[in-house]
Every structure is written in structure tokens, then in C-alpha cells.
Amino acid sequence: MAKIFVSGVAGFLGSHLAEALIKEGHKVVGCDNLIGGYIDNVPEGVDFHQVDCKYLNTMKELLNGVDIVYHCACTAYEGLSVFSPHLVCENTYQISVTMITAAIHNKVKRFVYCSSMARYGAQPTLPFTEDMEPKPQDPYGISKLAAEKVLKNLAETHGMEYVIAVPHNIIGPRQKYDDPYRNVASIMINLMLQGKQPIIYGDGQQKRCFSFVQDDIDCLIKLGFQDNVAGEIINIGPDEEFVTIKELAETLSDLLNFDLKPRYFPDRPREVKLATCSADKARRLLGYKTKTTLKEGLKQMIDYIKERKTRPFRYTFALEIINEKTPETWKNKLF
Ligand SMILES: NC(=O)c1ccc[n+]([C@@H]2O[C@H](COP(=O)([O-])OP(=O)(O)OC[C@H]3O[C@@H](n4cnc5c(N)ncnc54)[C@H](O)[C@@H]3O)[C@@H](O)[C@H]2O)c1
């Protein structure tokens, strides 16, 4: 049994991970400042602290005696990051440096960092493989990559094991669905269940590969424990079922029996059109296997949102840059 710290434990990924770790018999301590996520996501049994990761001294105290850190806390807002860079970079890059520092201070054995496929940016070929030179296209991706580099640097300097997880396009219950800035599938379901048409930016031909959260959790857990993954960067998620955003809307409308007439808006600046990751390395090192189809995953999300009831979207973040490039949907709170 290990003592494990999960930052962002009220979030989507952090809460599922913490729940699975507790089921395996580990002691889990976690924190979240609730800027994203939901307080009722925090699984029973977590020693939960409602606190911001930016407070170094508090993090040093909370990480006392911890064996493994899973750093999931982040404002994971890729599209918003060109309009609210201060918020996104602080809660992507700066808090990561804080967590890494606190971990090294406490002689934590291994630090698992949740990066993002945004680190790859726009690549000439698909799918993205871990050996590609990262070319992030926006402040979110740049911050993720910068945090990875600081982690590698400090971990190598001070002798801490680290692993970089690159999860991508995860869907499933507990994902925030009243947030207008991210989580496309959740936004579409929340809108359609309210009888409202989904929003599509650009022509809807953006290509993605969604992964169901439970399929990723086993791999994430292994990243904390397996010897052969120390120092590795590993994509976590499937590479079998590519869909466009338009096809995602069509699949959801079939599942919901909804008369689909999407509302189209101009492209969002710097959105990467084709973004899919190879799962070869995860298959090889972690035995990754896709178990849940996109349709099945979406059904579970629909059930989750129906049970909790639809919600109005909450425009809680200040747009730091408002100009002619800022999407109208956000500037004028159109959904
Ligand atoms: N969900 C995905 O598809 C996906 C894909 C790639 C990478 N990731 C990465 O996985 C991690 C988890 O993502 P998620 O989808 O669960 O997002 P999430 O927003 O549901 O969870 C993140 C949690 O971190 C918390 N948080 C943010 N800033 C904080 C701070 N300063 N102090 C304390 N808590 C803070 C939020 O309140 C939230 O509960 C993130 O690092 C994200 O970048 C997620």
C-alpha cells in the first residue's frame, strides 16, 4: 500500500483515478481549489484539502510522507488559452513547478504528470507518436510542454522518478458539462438535453479520437508503479475510432433522438484540425486496450447528465483579451 497524492481530485480524471487507487487499497490524499471539477466528484475515503496548488508551503506539508504524486490539477482550457493566457498558464505551468518542488522537497519516489496532446500541436503526420518533436500551438500546449521540461530537469537533478502521461479527449461521467469553454461532448449533451442546437466551430471536420475514462485509468495507475515506464512519455487513449466533431454531433443526436441542425460559428484561433494519438507505446508498455466504444461512452455520459439534470452554462472566467478574434459565443454568452 502506498501513500498517494492526487492534485485536482475534484476534477474528472483526478476523481476517477483516486477512486480506483482507493479500491486498490492505497491511501489517497488530494487537493483541489474547485476552479473546475465538482466537489461531489471527490471520492469517499480521500483525505481532501480544498486548497490551491500554488501555495508551496501548504503543498510541502500535504506531500509529507507521500510515495507517488499524480498531478492532475490544471485549468485545461486549450481554446480559451489564447484569450485568458494569464489564468491558463498560471494554473498549468506555474502550479506544476510548485508541485514538482514540493515533491522533491519531500523525497517523493515518483511524480506522474498529466500533460496533454496539445503538447504535439500541429504535426505533418497522424497519429501523434511520442518521439515527434512537440510543436504546441497555443499557451496551454506551450505551458504543458514547459512543465514537462521543468519536471525532467528537476527530477534528473534531484533524483526523483517521473512519468509524463499524455491523455487525450477523455469522455465520461463526472466531466464538467456546464462549462462553455471546453469538453465538447459534454457541452453538446447538455445543450441537446435542453432542446438546444449544438455549437460547431469551423466546418466540423476537426478529427479526434475520444477515449472513455475507465479505459485510461488502469494505464494511469500503472504509470505510478511500473519500473519500465520511469522517464517515459506515453500517450494514453485509443487510436481506433476517429470521428469528426460533426460526426460526434450526429452520433449524439441519434442517441438522443434529436433533430440536429448545428449552429456553425467561425473557427477558433489556433485550433488544431487533425489531432489523434498513437496507442502503440501504451499497448506495448502498459497493455492498453480499448474496451468501451464511443457510443457506449456517450450513453454513459448522457445518463450521468440526465441524472444530475441539465444546467445553464457558467461563464465564470474573465476573458482577459477581448477583441475581434474572441469567439462571439463566449463574448456574448450565446449558449
Ligand atoms: N480530460 C481530457 O480529455 C484531458 C486530455 C488531456 C489531458 N488532460 C489533463 O488531465 C488533467 C485532468 O483533466 P480533467 O479533464 O480531469 O480536468 P478537470 O478540470 O475536470 O480537473 C482538473 C481539476 O484541477 C483543479 N484545479 C485547477 N487549478 C487548480 C489549482 N491551482 N489548485 C488546485 N486545483 C486546481 C480544478 O478545480 C479541477 O477540479 C489535466 O492536467 C488535463 O490537462 C485531460
pLDDT for 320 equals: 98
For residue 24, the enclosing domain spans 3-170+210-236
Pocket of ligand 1 (CB under 6 A): 8, 10-14, 31-37, 52-54, 72-76, 91, 95, 114, 116, 167-170, 176
User: Could you tell me the distance, in angstroms and rounded to a whole number, from the CA of residue 152 to the centre of ligand 1?
Assistant: 21
Do residues 182 and 320 share a domain?
Answer: yes
pLDDT above 90: residue 172: yes
Do residues 160 and 259 share a domain?
Answer: no
User: Could you tell me the distance, in angstroms and rounded to a whole number, from the CA of residue 259 to the centre of ligand 1?
Assistant: 33
pLDDT for 176 equals: 97
Q: What backbone torsions phi and psi does residue 323 show, to the nearest 5 degrees?
A: -155, -165
pLDDT for 239 equals: 93
CATH number for the domain harbouring residue 215: 3.40.50.720
Do residues 220 and 83 share a domain?
Answer: yes
Residues in the chain: 335
User: Could you tell me the distance, in angstroms and rounded to a whole number, from the CA of residue 134 to the centre of ligand 1?
Assistant: 21
Mean pLDDT, the chain, rounded, equals: 96
- Placement of cell 486548497 in the chain: 51
Do residues 271 and 254 share a domain?
Answer: yes
pLDDT above 90: residue 285: yes
pLDDT, tens digit, for every residue of 286-330? 999 999 999 999 999 999 999 999 999 999 988 999 999 999 999
Of 112, 205, 212, the closest CA to residue 155 belongs to: 112
- Count of structural domains, the chain: 2
Residues 332, 203: Cα–Cα separation, whole Å: 21
What is the mean pLDDT of the segment spanning 212-225?
Answer: 97
pLDDT above 90: residue 243: yes
Do residues 188 and 163 share a domain?
Answer: no
Q: What backbone torsions phi and psi does residue 146 show, to the nearest 5 degrees?
A: -60, -40
Do residues 55 and 177 share a domain?
Answer: no
pLDDT for 201 equals: 96
Q: Where are the alpha helices (DSSP H) in the chain?
A: 12-23, 56-62, 85-89, 95-105, 139-158, 184-193, 213-225, 245-256, 280-286, 294-308, 328-331
What is the mean pLDDT of the segment spanning 173-193?
Answer: 97
pLDDT for 274 equals: 83
- Placement of cell 476534477 in the chain: 11
- Domain final residue, candidates 221, 236, 251: 236
pLDDT for 241 equals: 84
CATH number for the domain harbouring residue 291: 3.90.25.10
Do residues 113 and 181 share a domain?
Answer: no
Do residues 225 and 315 share a domain?
Answer: no
What is the mean pLDDT of the segment spanning 52-67?
Answer: 98
Do residues 123 and 249 share a domain?
Answer: no
